[in-house]
Structure 1
Amino acid sequence: MAEAGTYRALRAVLIPLALAQFICSFAGSNMNVMLKDISADLHTTVQGVQVTITIFLLVMAALMIPGGKVTDRYGRKRCFVAGLALYGVGAVLSAVAPGLGVLILGNSILEGVGTALLIPPVYILTTLLFTEVASRARAFGVIMAMGGIGGASGPLIGGLITSVLNWRAAFVFQALVIVLIILLGRRIKDPLPPDPACPIDIGGVVLSAVGMVLVVMGILAADDNGWLMLALLVLGGLVLAWFFRWIRAKEKAGGKPLISTSVFRNRTSNLGLVTQNTQWLLLMGTSFVVAAYLQVVRGYNAIQTGLIFTAATLGLLVSSVSAERLAKRRAQRTLIVAGFVVTIAGIGVLLAMVAVSPSVWASVPGLLLVGLGLGVMLTPSVNVVQSSFGEEQQGEISGLSRAVSNLGSSLGTAIAGTILVASFTSHAYAAAMITLAAVGLGGLAAAAFLPRDLAPGTPPTSRGEL
């Protein structure tokens, strides 16, 4: 009876943690179906909304690793609640935004910072509370599945809310979910006390954040000024090189850098991080490009666009539910390679079907394949990265894993979105999809170099990703 009570208590704790991952992933994709509505209401352009989405994803990527350090210093439960509160304020501010600037402040900055503050505790608390290996693996499976479903269902739920009410109501929905999570999260207890002496590498935080921002902003500038794009990309690369020199020097001096250089020396983990980055780039890039094309070029409304994306949600849900069973039968490398093959095939079908058919449902088969492919490989990629390190480095590698994944999301929206919004024609759509397919081939190549002897069913030893 005691074990049953403990199980129910842990399940009750898992619900708010999984919901937190869901709403943060949902926020990254639900605006894709509101492009026309937001741009018309706020008197801006689709490119302006694209920048808003990209900055939100970029803020998460830039602050995810320091977010994990802050939780160690001030406490996991405290940071979880603070992040939720900040996110909720951002959602409310976005709902009443009179212009693009306030929307960027609410959605991109406040929600982005709130997410970076609340997501690390989700995975840290899961690691600390679910101490048995099998139960921990199942808990991470639920959280990662909710993250994927949130990202894939964002267009559908956002489209329904926008069509029935308006785009502002979608942010009210987010705020209400945040209130629900705070109420459900009252049962969560932090197993470890905060460590006020935990150092935070401010220099590393600034350099890594500035470097990533410059790179992504350089991509966004591609359709306006080629020289500016090149300058920002070069400058961003130099700042990131400075960041690596900084953490190496700090480590040699006996200090504690933002992240240890040892996490970059593991070949298997590095390949796994490439696959994670590529997967989220494909998910968010495809979501933005298809949604923008259907609304701006084909003239579909939010509900039509959202319903079409049900195919991707269904595919991801089916493959996520089957992930545990597949992991017991197939090696992780096999699942990741198969996932990339199916996803790239889905992008090819998207390109072919939209070109030959004017039907509103022409995108459904391709989106279904994309959802199936991504769902198959999301969890194995996390397992590969997390299982490459011992328990003492799980905090660092999981923070890097989430940062790399969120950077992939922002790059997907920036790269593919910039190609499309440059002209908003069928040719631009084709160019954006071909670019995504090419990036997918790069991810497939990285997956092919993963060790063949990665055992099936290896559970993640600690935290997963956004």
Structure 2
Amino acid sequence: MRTRGAMVLPLALAQFVASYAATTMNVAISAIAHDLGTTVIGVQTTITLFTLTMAALMVPGSKLTDIWGRKRCFLIGLVVYGTGALLAAFAPGPGLLLVGYSLLEGVGSALMIPPIYILVTVSFADPVVRARNFGVVSGAGALGAAAGPLLGGLVTSWLGWRASFLLQVAIVVWVIVAARHIVDRPRPRPRPGFDLWGAVLSGAGLFFVVFGVLRTGTYGWGVAREDFTIGEVVLLPAGGLSPVWVFVGIGALVLYGFFRHIRVAREPLCSPSLFRDRTSNLGLGTQTVQWLVMQGAFFVVSVYLQQERGFSAVHTGLVLLPATVGVLAASGVAARMARRNPARRLVIAGFAASAAGLGLLLALVRDDSAALVFAPGLFLLGAGIGTMLTASVNLVQSAWPDELQGDISGVSRAVSNLGSSLGTALAGSVLAGAAAPGGGPFAAALVVLAGFAVLGLVVAALVPRRR
């Protein structure tokens, strides 16, 4: 039992550092742009490329766990990620920052994240024990995402933005050393081949979908706010159809081609049977929506506090602290809740609590409200997210036997990344499309996110009561 507990700790820390990297850069954008002689848009592009790289390669990265082995794939991902963080820490200009952060950290994340969830699934047969350890890993991921702005703000303010990357390097080195406790059972069947064509199709499809969604803040969802140009040629003028739908449409067509391909491929990138199970499909839907709600809410509150209230990055992180506490509190009792309740009920309860938390923020927060007024709504939001993160992962991963864990883990992590991108883009597009400043646009964004929380509750209610 002690060995298994020691195995989960490095997995949780790896998930923490990957989630931390996705949110901590936002509070250091201005400092990085000034230090490297680039623009804020240039740094934001680097952050976007990190998200795109991770999302596009998550499914192929997961398949490599069946070829290289889960532990080996995890360690390779850590080495690639740590190398990228080290390059970013000493980057003399934006080019090396892009290579280190956007490319190497993105590739490393795609290699190391799927094995985390596969190893927890195959190492703990008891559903209650598995739920407890999923709670530790999911809680670490949510903690990294929620605490990223606070920790990043503190580190950037005290030591500079480069120290934030060095902190990631230190954590990665510790995880590599601690990974000796990870036990990966040998695979009984021969190693499969790698479906290169499937990897290209899945990666390109997800790339275009996520890229299109991330451009909504610039072009809007319906009518294009500005011209879409390549070079000096205007392809889509302002006032016409938003180019977002062109990118999303291309991505959807490529993903359709991917699904057609895996039906006929001899050794497909992932089994087509994964998409024929109702419980698993609905569970993947709840994962998408919960990450959308979480990342969207953190983004809206962070932007509101900094732009409208003039809070510093550190102060903003402190205001978000109740959400972090809520996530940790719910994750800490994940095993007890799993023992007494089916995963379906926990996901429903999580969405209900998240919607209620967003409702409290709308009801209590005003432009002149004290920072403590945010606490009840944010705590309830965090508790709801912590409750359903563990349950939905358990619901999806436990639906499949060991030989399909590599496939379902990649799909699960890909839809979670898609949800995160959708949440930030959706909230950002509502804020960017506002005609007037003030609290109104932020309230509108929270209403939209609350609507998605209710949608997630409905999807969770459709999950079969018994398998």
Could you say whether these structures have the same fold, taking a TM-score greater than 0.5 normalized by the shorter chain as the test? yes
Match of 2:295 in 1: 284
Contact 2:283 2:395 in 1 (8 A): yes
Within the candidate set 360, 370, 374, 2:381 is matched to 370
Q: 1:369 to 1:101 in 2, by over 3 A?
A: farther
Match of 1:310 in 2: 321
3-state secondary structure, aligned to 1:12: helix
Within the candidate set 411, 420, 435, 1:400 is matched to 411
Once residues 418 and 194 of structure 1 are traced to their aligned partners in structure 2, the CA distance between those partners, rounded to angstroms, is: 49
Once residues 306 and 432 of structure 1 are traced to their aligned partners in structure 2, the CA distance between those partners, rounded to angstroms, is: 20
Within the candidate set 223, 233, 237, 2:252 is matched to 237
Match of 2:448 in 1: 435
The alpha carbon displacement at 1:294 in A equals 1.8
The alpha carbon displacement at 1:33 in A equals 3.2
Report the count of equivalent residues.
Answer: 444
Once residues 188 and 87 of structure 2 are traced to their aligned partners in structure 1, the CA distance between those partners, rounded to angstroms, is: 31
The alpha carbon displacement at 1:140 in A equals 3.0
Within 5 Å, which residues of 2 pair with 1:42-441? Answer: 42=36, 48-130=42-124, 135-192=129-186, 197-222=191-216, 223-224=218-219, 225=224, 226-250=241-265, 255-421=266-432, 425-426=437-438, 427-441=440-454
| TM norm structure 1 | 0.87
Contact 1:59 1:109 in 2 (8 A): yes
Contact 2:16 2:143 in 1 (8 A): yes
3-state secondary structure, aligned to 2:186: coil
| Identity across the alignment (%) | 51
Q: What code does the residue aligned with 1:237 have?
A: A
Please, which runs of 5 or more residues in structure 1 have no aligned partner?
Answer: 1-6, 455-466
Once residues 443 and 58 of structure 1 are traced to their aligned partners in structure 2, the CA distance between those partners, rounded to angstroms, is: 24
3-state secondary structure, aligned to 2:192: coil
Q: What code does the residue aligned with 1:308 have?
A: V
Deviates more, 1:271-280 or 1:290-299: 290-299
Provide the aligned C-alpha RMSD in A: 2.6
Q: 1:37 to 1:306 in 2, by over 3 A?
A: farther
In the alignment, is residue 20 of structure 1 matched against residue 14 of structure 2? yes
Q: 1:194 to 1:452 in 2, by over 3 A?
A: closer
The alpha carbon displacement at 1:192 in A equals 1.9
3-state secondary structure, aligned to 1:389: coil
Deviates more, 1:226-235 or 1:335-344: 226-235
- Residues 416-436 of structure 1, C-alpha deviations (whole Å, 9 max, x = no match): 234335569334323332322
Deviates more, 1:152-161 or 1:44-53: 44-53
Contact 2:347 2:387 in 1 (8 A): yes
Match of 1:448 in 2: 461
Q: What code does the residue aligned with 1:287 have?
A: F
Within 5 Å, which residues of 2 pair with 1:32-47? Answer: 32-42=26-36
Once residues 19 and 50 of structure 2 are traced to their aligned partners in structure 1, the CA distance between those partners, rounded to angstroms, is: 11
Q: What code does the residue aligned with 2:454 have?
A: L
The alpha carbon displacement at 1:177 in A equals 0.6
Q: 1:364 to 1:298 in 2, by over 3 A?
A: same
Q: What code does the residue aligned with 2:317 have?
A: G
Contact 1:74 1:195 in 2 (8 A): no
Deviates more, 1:213-222 or 1:308-317: 213-222
The alpha carbon displacement at 1:133 in A equals 5.8
Q: What code does the residue aligned with 2:108 have?
A: G
Once residues 39 and 416 of structure 1 are traced to their aligned partners in structure 2, the CA distance between those partners, rounded to angstroms, is: 24
3-state secondary structure, aligned to 2:269: coil
Q: What code does the residue aligned with 2:249 have?
A: V
The alpha carbon displacement at 1:238 in A equals 1.2
Match of 1:464 in 2: none
The alpha carbon displacement at 1:189 in A equals 4.9
Deviates more, 1:312-321 or 1:178-187: 178-187
- Residues 109-131 of structure 1, C-alpha deviations (whole Å, 9 max, x = no match): 21111011112232334445546
The alpha carbon displacement at 1:284 in A equals 1.4
Q: 1:94 to 1:285 in 2, by over 3 A?
A: farther
Contact 1:74 1:194 in 2 (8 A): no
Contact 1:65 1:403 in 2 (8 A): yes
Q: What code does the residue aligned with 1:283 have?
A: M
Match of 1:458 in 2: none
Once residues 294 and 38 of structure 1 are traced to their aligned partners in structure 2, the CA distance between those partners, rounded to angstroms, is: 21
- Residues 266-321 of structure 1, C-alpha deviations (whole Å, 9 max, x = no match): 11211111101111111112222222232233221111011111111101111111
Once residues 189 and 268 of structure 1 are traced to their aligned partners in structure 2, the CA distance between those partners, rounded to angstroms, is: 29
Q: 1:366 to 1:62 in 2, by over 3 A?
A: same
Match of 1:463 in 2: none
Contact 1:294 1:300 in 2 (8 A): yes
Once residues 26 and 376 of structure 2 are traced to their aligned partners in structure 1, the CA distance between those partners, rounded to angstroms, is: 19
Please, which runs of 5 or more residues in structure 2 have no aligned partner?
Answer: 225-240
Once residues 19 and 263 of structure 1 are traced to their aligned partners in structure 2, the CA distance between those partners, rounded to angstroms, is: 28
Once residues 194 and 168 of structure 1 are traced to their aligned partners in structure 2, the CA distance between those partners, rounded to angstroms, is: 44
Once residues 313 and 230 of structure 1 are traced to their aligned partners in structure 2, the CA distance between those partners, rounded to angstroms, is: 35
